[in-house]
Amino acid sequence: MQRIGVFVCWCGSNIAGTVDVQAVSEALKNEPGVVYSTNYQYMCSQAGQDMIKNAVKEHNLTGIVVCSCSPRMHEATFRKTAAAAGLNPYMVEIANIREQCSWVHKEMPIGTEKAIILGKAAIAKVNLNTPLIPGESPVTKRALVIGGGIAGIQTALDIADAGFPVDIVEKQPTIGGKMAQLDKTFPTLDCAACILTPKMVDVAQNDKIRIFSYSEVAEVGGFVGNFDVKIKRRARYVKEDVCTGCGACVEKCPMKKVPNEFNLGMDNRTAIYIPFAQAVPKVATIDPNHCNMLKNGKCGLCAKVCAAGAIDYKQQDEIIEEKYGAIVVATGFNPISMDKFDEYAYNQSKDVITSLEFERLTNAAGPTAGKLLRPSDHKHPHTIVFVQCVGSRCAACAEKGKEYCSKICCMYTAKHAMLTRDKYPDTEVYVFYIDVRTPGKNFDEFYRRAVEEYGVHYIKGMVGKVVPEGDKLKVQASDLLDNKQLHIDADLVVLAAAIEPDKSARPLATMLTASMDTNDFFTEAHPKLRPVESPTAGVFLSGTCQGPKDIPETVSQAGAAASKVIGLLAKDKLTGNPCVANSDELMCNGCSSCQRVCPYGAISYIDKEFRMPDRTTKIRRVASVNPAVCQGCGACTVACPSGAMDLKGFANEQIMAEVDAICK
Amino acid sequence: MQKITCEQLIEKAVALLNDGTVSCVLGWKKGEFDYDITPALFETEEELKNEFVWNDFCRANFSKYLISKTAKCEGKILVFLKPCDTYSFNQLLTEHRFDREKVYAVGIPCEGMADIDKIKAICGDGICKIECGEKIAVSTIYTDEPTLIDAKDVLAERCINCKSKKHVAYDELIGEDGDVIDSGRFDEVAKLEAMTPDERFAFWQNELSRCIRCNACRDVCPACTCEKCVFNNPKSGVENKSPANSFEEQMFHIIRAFHVAGRCTDCGECSRVCPQNIPLHLLNRKFIKDMNEFYGEYQAGAEVGSRAPLVNYTTEDLEPGEVFDRGNKDA
Amino acid sequence: MNKEYLRDEMLRMSGVNPKKCMKCGKCSATCPAYDEMEYHPHQFVSMVEKGDIEPLMKSESLYRCLTCFACVDRCPRGVEPAKLIEAVRLSVIRQQGANRLKADDVPAKLDDDMPQQAIVSAFRKYSK
Amino acid sequence: MQMKEYKPLIVAFCCNWCSYAGADLAGNNRLNYPADVKIIRVPCSCRVNPMFILRAFQKGADGVIICGCHPGDCHYTSGNYYTRRRMAALFSMLDFLGIERERTRVEWVSAAEGAKFAATMNDFAEKVAALGENKRLEDLRCKK
């Protein structure tokens, strides 16, 4: 039997004004388990807390009920008080007689009656409370960043800067991501490479950071502070630690007709290749689908010319196992496929391109060495039509486009239009828009400059169709403000394709038990207050895997994710919330209902041996809750048909006792 | 009349027993009365030949027995499964309740089982002998000549509304597989739904007040496989072994139906074994009907590993307050 | 006629929700009959939403729409302007029905030389 | 027997993160609702077991209301979605058994919706009071 002390707070006149506190403490004196009951003006004051501490000692209390303000206000305070008096802090219950009683009821008798009932419910619960001790788990002081774009790079640099080792897993042969493909960045028109490549070099030179390029995450186990990750390093047929990146092999490789993915297929590369000049790590990779040596054993030229002897045709995929304390997802985005947009003739004409292709066409390291030439005939285009929102804000057909706004297109289109007019003033540039969205520092100024200073024709309306005719592209569009249909003979059409999360994100989310929205963007733990954390403890989000973002936003989110990771890794031990689910193995029948509803993947199954009454043993599959991962929502307790699953601190018995006390 | 003969099944069982595929056979044998066929475990050819029975009264669903039998038996168990039994079989596999490797399942077609109460309504009491052939021949102590009854006329309710003649799980199939049937199994539920709340209350008061809490429904139910039922567990807070009042009866049946909701395959065993003839299956069917209507068609046990509606969700689900506005119910 | 009533009629007949329109103009951009029309597809959507239907009913534009459904196919929001135009057109025909032939009057006007196709069309047209 | 003015007894299960905070806000703003409403704090609406609801009715409650975060806002991401399905099924079943449907309710109340909390409780209490005592689902033995 518990020895419970009841402490009724007046809260000045806040409670005492409508509740007869004296009557409440008197009435509760005779409840089961109560050995002491009193009231005081301010229970939360130092004097009030001392009163509680003294009573614990004097009356040997095992449980405390404080009838006061909301537990959201002072539960933590009174738990500390209890702990100071040597009691387990979870032996404290609060009866909320201020917010939910004295403040909402006006008449003293009614308020007093309800306060007594609320007090009784709290006493009934404390009678069934058990001391709870938060679990502790160690923290592996190493972070994993999945994705080596600007988001992953920035996160890794920031974490390493705090002194923690970081591994980056990147599925391409080099880090750098989409930003490495860009030419200039809005609204400042910095050269993307000039600001990105120094960061890539920093990563390469930082001894806290390891880069697993050409690699993928294959399996994730464990939980916050203790993730076990298997990383698959795909064979690149070149010894990474031996290759000097001299490029002799690339020069000699006879297979020169492989579409170059870095330039989006607008030119060719060799079968052994280094994606671009500033690649990190700067090592060659052999594309097994095109290498003659790997396909049919003939050639071997690269091995012959490699002075370092780095070529290894026998290399195999390799699985690395590593432990991590925290995981950052930075899987980024891709432009959506234009295949379904027949009206824009993307598949019919080489001169209809996406904006990312346009970036490569204007980039000095691109297929045209920075000269703006049409892909079809390498002539200078004189009339360029930009079409915005291609596949963005498209609610009609999920296969075709995305319902959301891709956020970055308005600004990069303004940039493209402006740069084109700047370099080639003889070019007419049309931008067809639905809305121009420029919320950002210096964004609207930038867009207005494109219109006012550079004379870009912004037309409110959409392009309806593009028809290739001769060497022209017949563009039919509407001008809604003039209420006219326009027909433009264009030389080049640039489509601002919507962006979508990388395809690898969905299987990764499953591995991480991190939730995703219907568009495959990762869900944040709270949309406003915890934007860089995933609901799964220890998994953080960086960059466009969480939603469309421009570079400054991505970098700030990357820094925020890093600071969360640092906060986690700085701890030696993680203290959990002790109010977690707990499965009674004797009653669990292993049906898996609880596992299905757990949003955190905290429940796993173990085969457990039970002694039967007839002295035989029986092995049964039973649920086991990982208290470090469980957040204590209780979804599993209701899904469990056998009542084996219960929630500490909010046990079935405790809640029923409250129900009984209220309904008595 | 069943299409597969008893001899065929015995032959199959003996063959599998003798070639060592299985070490025992879960089948039916005669009980105290001819219509009172009970489940039994056979271990020898002799036992099978002497006692194994297959006729219009082999109603028991063996799936649940596999939980305890697979845990005890050394080798594989041969089990005969009617189409409706295969759903329970799959559902138990979904819940990892027995080791599939330890079972050799033989699917057998079923033409529906007879309801002894319907036979008694025709022949009266005092049945001393029943023979199942083309027709069911019923002899009573009061008559010399047996009464011949067409099995179709005395089909059990659950067989009239059979949901599927298709086997969803087996290692081997004897005879031909059938199809999932678009049955009228929800008609009775819909009829109740169309009543006024007062009429419904009266209906259920009448039915549930007969409950004697014998727990037969729970004990036979292939979904009720808890190690310890919440109603037997003093820690659950709802423990009660015998009903003290009408509320506890209702509570028992509501909670039981809720606990098996999404897991119940609608095998109808609960109503079959109820000694008070309470139509308990209607409660389960109500949940099944609701969930089909609210969240899309779902048949528990149709496939192993499927996710039941109550442990699943979409962000667009209807609100609890909207459930009453659906259908043709009174306002 | 009452604006709201007319609008509701159009929405009911067409099953279109013009509120979904985000005013991008792709319907009009894609329309092959644009130059023939006084009111263009996007105007149909916006005018119906405002209840400004009488000018549409009086306009020749109704009969310039080819019902090619390009606008329906291309609309990113699934608004289906062609169905709205069809609804307006239909309501004009229905109103005209008052001073036109009734389907019952058709048989009396038939003669042996009347092509089968014309008879079918007549019934279809006058029974609307 | 002594005739007393009938006061319904209402049990409100409120999730800790939204609705309990919403109830606190109602208090902060001094928004009145009947004292017949007694709140039980649960971590999430998905912690509410149908057994708790039946238990409340058994012990003499006249109405039970469950309040949680708005769908999509659950602190635990998906708890209230499960609540929504479970309670839809349970309420439909209670209705099937002839229990008055106005005695049970699920309402989504955010931490900012103090006014909605008070209004909901006023409305619910009024509806339950109109039904009168809960005779259909009540254990008569427990009634004094």
The full set of domain ranges for chain B reads 6-117+159-173, 187-325
Contacts with B71 from chain A: Cβ below 8 Å:
618
State the nearest Cα–Cα gap between A402 and chain C, in angstroms. Answer: 9
Do A444 and A491 share a domain, yes or no? yes
Rg (CA), chain B: 21
Q: Using CB atoms and an 8 Å cut-off, which of residues 166-195 of chain A contact chain D?
A: none
Minimal Cβ distance to D54: which of B193, B255, B261: B255
Is the CB of D78 less than 8 angstroms away from the CB of A100? no
Q: How many domains are contained in chain D?
A: 1
State the nearest Cα–Cα gap between A143 and chain B, in angstroms. Answer: 33
- State the ipTM, two decimals: 0.77
Tell me the residue range of the domain where A149 lies.
142-233+317-332+532-572
Among D124, D88, D107, smallest CA distance to B322 is for D88
Q: How many domains are contained in chain A?
A: 5
Identify the segments of chain D with pLDDT beneath 50.
Answer: 1-3, 139-144
CATH number for position D82 = 3.40.50
Is the CB of D46 less than 8 angstroms away from the CB of A635? yes
User: Any idea what the Cα angle at residue A441 is, between residues A437 and A444, rounded to 5°?
Assistant: 40
Is the CB of D24 less than 8 angstroms away from the CB of A72? yes
Residue D127 contacts B where some CB pair is shorter than 8 Å:
no
Contacts with D100 from chain B: Cβ below 8 Å:
197
Q: Which helix (H) or strand (E) holds A152?
A: helix A150-161
State the nearest Cα–Cα gap between A72 and chain D, in angstroms. Answer: 8
In a domain, C24, yes or no: yes
> Which of A587, A595, A610, A638 to mutate against chain B (most B CBs within 10 Å)?
A587
pLDDT of residue B325: 67
CB C17 within 8 A of CB C11: yes
> Which of D52, D76, D120, D137 to mutate against chain A (most A CBs within 10 Å)?
D76
Rg (CA), chain D: 15
Tokens found for residue B164: 């599927």
Is the CB of D89 less than 8 angstroms away from the CB of B310? yes
Work out the widest C-alpha separation in chain C, in whole angstroms.
Answer: 54
Confidence band for A478, pLDDT divided at 50, 70 and 90:
very high
State the nearest Cα–Cα gap between B59 and chain D, in angstroms. Answer: 28
Among D93, A592, D64, smallest CA distance to B258 is for D93
- What confidence tens digit (pLDDT) does each residue in A32-87 have? 999 999 999 999 999 999 999 999 999 999 999 999 999 988 999 999 999 999 99
State the nearest Cα–Cα gap between A516 and chain D, in angstroms. Answer: 11
* Beta-sheet pairing, A63-68 with A272-273: unpaired
Task: Report d(CA A193, CA A182) in Å as an integer.
Answer: 7
State the nearest Cα–Cα gap between C80 and chain A, in angstroms. Answer: 10
In a domain, A664, yes or no: no
**Strands in A4-110 per DSSP E:** 4-9, 34-40, 63-68, 92-96
CB A518 within 8 A of CB A509: no
Contacts with B307 from chain A: Cβ below 8 Å:
596
Q: What is the 3-state secondary structure (H, E, C) of A16-64?
A: CCCCCHHHHHHHHCCCCCEEEEEEECCCCCHHHHHHHHHHHHHHCCCEE
* Beta-sheet pairing, A190-191 with A184-185: antiparallel
Q: Using CB atoms and an 8 Å cut-off, which of residues 106-165 of chain A contact chain D?
A: 106, 110-111, 113-114, 117-118, 121
Identity at D95, one-letter amino acid code:
D
Contacts with A655 from chain D: Cβ below 8 Å:
40, 42, 47, 49, 52
Q: Which helix (H) or strand (E) holds A622?
A: strand A617-625
Rg (CA), chain C: 17
State the nearest Cα–Cα gap between D84 and chain B, in angstroms. Answer: 6
- What confidence tens digit (pLDDT) does each residue in B156-172 have? 999 999 999 999 999 99
Sign of the C-alpha dihedral computed for residues B192, B195, B196 and B198 taken in this order: negative
Task: Report d(CA A361, CA A369) in Å as an integer.
Answer: 8
In a domain, D126, yes or no: yes
Q: Which helix (H) or strand (E) holds A610?
A: strand A603-611
pLDDT of residue B326: 57
In a domain, A110, yes or no: yes
Judge whether residue C108 has pLDDT over 90: no
Residue D132 contacts B where some CB pair is shorter than 8 Å:
no
Is the CB of B254 less than 8 angstroms away from the CB of D88? no
Question: Can you say how many angstroms the Cα of residue A133 is from the centroid of all Cα atoms in its chain?
Answer: 30
Identity at D135, one-letter amino acid code:
K
Task: Report d(CA A287, CA B47) in Å as an integer.
Answer: 68
CB A140 within 8 A of CB A323: yes
> Which of A403, A519, A589 to mutate against chain B (most B CBs within 10 Å)?
A589
In a domain, C124, yes or no: no
Do A208 and A244 share a domain, yes or no? no
* Beta-sheet pairing, A539-541 with A499-501: unpaired
Contact between chain D and chain C (3 or more Cβ pairs less than 8 Å apart): no
CB A417 within 8 A of CB A433: no
State the nearest Cα–Cα gap between A539 and chain B, in angstroms. Answer: 23
Tell me the residue range of the domain where D111 lies.
10-137
Contacts with C29 from chain A: Cβ below 8 Å:
461-465, 476-478, 485
In a domain, C70, yes or no: yes
State the nearest Cα–Cα gap between B313 and chain A, in angstroms. Answer: 9
CB B273 within 8 A of CB B217: yes
Among A231, A225, A285, smallest CA distance to A258 is for A285
CA distances to B260, B263, B272 from B221, in Å: 9, 11, 10
Confidence band for B330, pLDDT divided at 50, 70 and 90:
very low
Q: Which helix (H) or strand (E) holds B93?
A: helix B83-94
Is the CB of D98 less than 8 angstroms away from the CB of B314? no
Contacts with A479 from chain C: Cβ below 8 Å:
25
pLDDT of residue A195: 95
Judge whether residue A598 has pLDDT over 80: yes
In a domain, C17, yes or no: yes
Minimal Cβ distance to D97: which of B201, B261, B313: B201
Minimal Cβ distance to C29: which of A393, A394, A461: A461
pLDDT of residue D116: 94
> Which of B233, B260, B313 to mutate against chain D (most D CBs within 10 Å)?
B313
Among B15, B37, B28, B23, smallest CA distance to B72 is for B23
CB D97 within 8 A of CB B201: yes
What's the CA dihedral at B110, B116, B122, B128 to 10 degrees? 110
Q: How many domains are contained in chain C?
A: 1
Contacts with C76 from chain A: Cβ below 8 Å:
389, 393-396, 401
Q: Using CB atoms and an 8 Å cut-off, which of residues 72-101 of chain B contact chain D?
A: none
Q: Using CB atoms and an 8 Å cut-off, which of residues 197-216 of chain B contact chain D?
A: 197-205
Judge whether residue A494 has pLDDT over 90: yes
Those residues with Cβ within 8 angstroms of residue B35's Cβ, 6 or more apart along the chain or in another chain: B57, B114, B116, B119, B127, B130
Mean pLDDT confidence for C107-119: 80
Tokens found for residue B265: 């395959």
Tell me the residue range of the domain where C57 lies.
3-101
Tokens found for residue D139: 């254990």
Tokens found for residue B62: 């063996």
Task: Report d(CA C25, CA A604) in Å as an integer.
Answer: 54
In a domain, C106, yes or no: no
Is the CB of A634 less than 8 angstroms away from the CB of D60? no
Residue A648 contacts D where some CB pair is shorter than 8 Å:
no
Rg (CA), chain A: 33
Judge whether residue B324 has pLDDT over 90: no
State the nearest Cα–Cα gap between A100 and chain D, in angstroms. Answer: 6
Is the CB of C26 less than 8 angstroms away from the CB of A460? no
State the nearest Cα–Cα gap between B79 and chain D, in angstroms. Answer: 35
Is the CB of A643 less than 8 angstroms away from the CB of B233? yes
Tokens found for residue A114: 């309800």
Judge whether residue A511 has pLDDT over 90: no
Judge whether residue B193 has pLDDT over 80: yes
CB A173 within 8 A of CB A279: yes
Work out the widest C-alpha separation in chain B, in whole angstroms.
Answer: 67
Sign of the C-alpha dihedral computed for residues A555, A561, A565 and A566 taken in this order: positive
State the nearest Cα–Cα gap between D72 and chain B, in angstroms. Answer: 7
pLDDT of residue C98: 59
Residues comprising chain C, all counted: 128
Task: Return the number of CB contacts < 8 Å for B and D.
Answer: 119
CATH number for position C86 = 1.10.1060.10
Tokens found for residue D5: 């003015």
Mean pLDDT confidence for A481-494: 96
* Summary mean pLDDT of chain A: 94
Contacts with C30 from chain A: Cβ below 8 Å:
343, 464-465, 476
Q: What is the phi/psi pair of residue B30, to 5°?
A: -65, 140
- What confidence tens digit (pLDDT) does each residue in A341-366 have? 999 999 999 999 999 999 999 999 99
- What confidence tens digit (pLDDT) does each residue in C26-38 have? 999 999 999 999 9
Cis omega before residue A187 (within 30°)?
A: yes
Among A504, A541, A506, smallest CA distance to A526 is for A541
Contacts with B88 from chain A: Cβ below 8 Å:
none
Is the CB of C31 less than 8 angstroms away from the CB of A460? no
Residues comprising chain B, all counted: 331
Task: Report d(CA B101, CA D58) in Å as an integer.
Answer: 46
Contacts with C42 from chain A: Cβ below 8 Å:
478, 480
Question: Which residue intervals of chain D are DSSP H helices?
Answer: 19-28, 50-58, 79-96, 114-131
Those residues with Cβ within 8 angstroms of residue A453's Cβ, 6 or more apart along the chain or in another chain: none
CA distances to A141, A208, A538, A631, D73 from A541, in Å: 18, 21, 10, 19, 19
Task: Report d(CA D75, CA D20) in Å as an integer.
Answer: 13
Contacts with A463 from chain C: Cβ below 8 Å:
26, 29
**Strands in A330-479 per DSSP E:** 333-335, 352-354, 383-390, 428-433, 457-460, 463-469, 472-479
Confidence band for C67, pLDDT divided at 50, 70 and 90:
confident
Is the CB of A99 less than 8 angstroms away from the CB of D24? yes
CB A192 within 8 A of CB A184: yes
Do A543 and A624 share a domain, yes or no? no
Task: Report d(CA A94, CA A92) in Å as an integer.
Answer: 7
CATH number for position A599 = 3.30.70.3270
pTM of the model: 0.71
**Lowest-confidence segment of A8-12, A446-450, B227-231, D60-64 by average pLDDT:** B227-231
**Lowest-confidence segment of A3-12, A317-326, B132-141 by average pLDDT:** B132-141
Do A219 and A98 share a domain, yes or no? no
Q: What is the phi/psi pair of residue A46, to 5°?
A: -55, -45
> Which residue matches tokens 């457990």?
A608
CA distances to B33, B97, B129, B137, B151 from B145, in Å: 19, 48, 11, 9, 18
Q: Return the residue of A nearest to B305 by Cα.
A: A592
Q: Return the residue of A nearest to C34 by Cα.
A: A485
* Summary mean pLDDT of chain B: 89
